[in-house]
């Protein structure tokens, strides 16, 4: 991480809601360092992401109740990954909103994660994750959506693929707050998994940055809130990864070769999926 990547908030606590904008709260959780957000309006509340198991989702729901007596109008899942939606079942009767790709990809992703947990004997979330009945989003959209909370609307926007096929951003215009899911990470570098789109991620971030002003607070999926400058800097590294993948692909390199020889901005062992996926996208069969 370069010195110019500055988080907005220096708050490192995992034990309370932090108000990052008018009636926009964020809570960080130690397990996987995932963040959930809560937006309050005149008539209801919006929950963004629900953590990594039904049990954790129930704890989140209790913590929402500690902050407000408003009904939860809707839950949003920023993307398909389990640490952002396995807790959906804790919000029974509440619409769960996500990009249209999420319910399509969730059965395979959920099964893969629960299979992986079977061998993670020391993981503190193991039992709860295995016991979780995964509840998919039941309201989906392709490009834009809005949630009416009475005195304010919360905008949901799909701006392209990147971390996954269905990353969305959640924007509270009057508070100048944007929840970016895992399109942006602060406490770790961007996560390139087996379902990432490494060659498209930078242009998606460019579109995200169009929504950001100099005072916008951006809430990443993991870590502290950041500013536009952080997003633009992180985008440059994502551009770097994509350019190197394209060059290695054009040169006919193997994945092993590219991973070993690249001058990557992130640990090379974390980029194997990025290279594999990038090669497949750059050289479609």
Binding site for Zn ion (CB under 5 A): 81, 182
| Minimum CB–partner distance for residue 132 and Zn ion (Å) | 17
| Minimum CB–partner distance for residue 226 and Zn ion (Å) | 17
74-to-5, 46, 137, 178 alpha-carbon distances in Å = 32, 5, 11, 17
Q: How far apart are CA 245 and CA 258, in angstroms?
A: 8
| Minimum CB–partner distance for residue 42 and Zn ion (Å) | 32
Q: Which is nearer to Zn ion, 149 or 196 (CB)?
A: 196
| Minimum CB–partner distance for residue 195 and Zn ion (Å) | 9
Q: Which is nearer to Zn ion, 176 or 182 (CB)?
A: 182
- Encoding tokens for residue 141? 């959209």
Reference 235, options 162, 159, 157, 156; nearest CA is 162
Reference 77, options 153, 150, 159, 182; nearest CA is 182
Q: Which is nearer to Zn ion, 73 or 204 (CB)?
A: 204
Reference 58, options 39, 36, 42; nearest CA is 36
The torsion of the CA quartet 239, 12, 169, 233, rounded to 10 degrees, works out to: -20
Q: How far apart are CA 169 and CA 262, in angstroms?
A: 31
Q: Which is nearer to Zn ion, 190 or 265 (CB)?
A: 190
DSSP structure class, residue 278: H
Q: Which is nearer to Zn ion, 4 or 194 (CB)?
A: 194
Q: How far apart are CA 251 and CA 253, in angstroms?
A: 6
| Minimum CB–partner distance for residue 102 and Zn ion (Å) | 12
Q: How far apart are CA 161 and CA 229, in angstroms?
A: 21
| Minimum CB–partner distance for residue 167 and Zn ion (Å) | 8
Q: Which is nearer to Zn ion, 33 or 182 (CB)?
A: 182
């Amino acid at each position: 991480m370069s010195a110019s990547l500055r988080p907005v908030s220096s708050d490192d606590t995992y034990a309370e809601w932090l108000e990052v904008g008018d009636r926009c709260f964020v809570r960080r959780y130690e397990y996987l360092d995932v963040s959930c957000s809560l937006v309050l309006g005149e008539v209801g509340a919006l929950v963004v992401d629900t953590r990594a198991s039904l049990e954790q989702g129930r704890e989140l729901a209790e913590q929402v109740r500690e902050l407000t007596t408003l009904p939860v109008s809707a839950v949003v899942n920023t993307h398909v990954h389990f640490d952002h939606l396995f807790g959906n079942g804790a919000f029974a009767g509440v619409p769960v909103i996500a990009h249209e790709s999420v319910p399509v990809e969730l059965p395979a992703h959920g099964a893969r994660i629960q299979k992986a947990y079977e061998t993670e004997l020391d993981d503190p979330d193991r039992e709860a994750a295995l016991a979780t009945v995964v509840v998919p989003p039941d309201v989906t959209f392709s490009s834009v959506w809005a949630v009416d909370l009475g005195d304010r609307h919360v905008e949901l926007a799909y701006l392209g693929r990147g971390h996954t096929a269905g990353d969305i951003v959640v924007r509270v215009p009057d508070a100048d707050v944007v929840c970016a899911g895992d399109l942006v990470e602060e406490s770790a570098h961007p996560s390139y998994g087996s379902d990432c789109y490494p060659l498209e991620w930078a242009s998606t971030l460019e579109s995200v940055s169009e929504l950001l002003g100099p005072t916008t607070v951006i809430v990443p999926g993991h870590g502290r809130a950041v500013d536009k400058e952080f997003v633009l800097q992180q985008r440059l590294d994502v551009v770097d990864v994509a350019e190197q993948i394209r060059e290695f692909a054009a040169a006919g390199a193997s994945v092993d070769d590219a991973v070993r020889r690249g001058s990557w901005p992130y640990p090379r062992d974390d980029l194997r999926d990025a290279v594999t996926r990038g090669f497949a996208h750059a050289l479609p069969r």
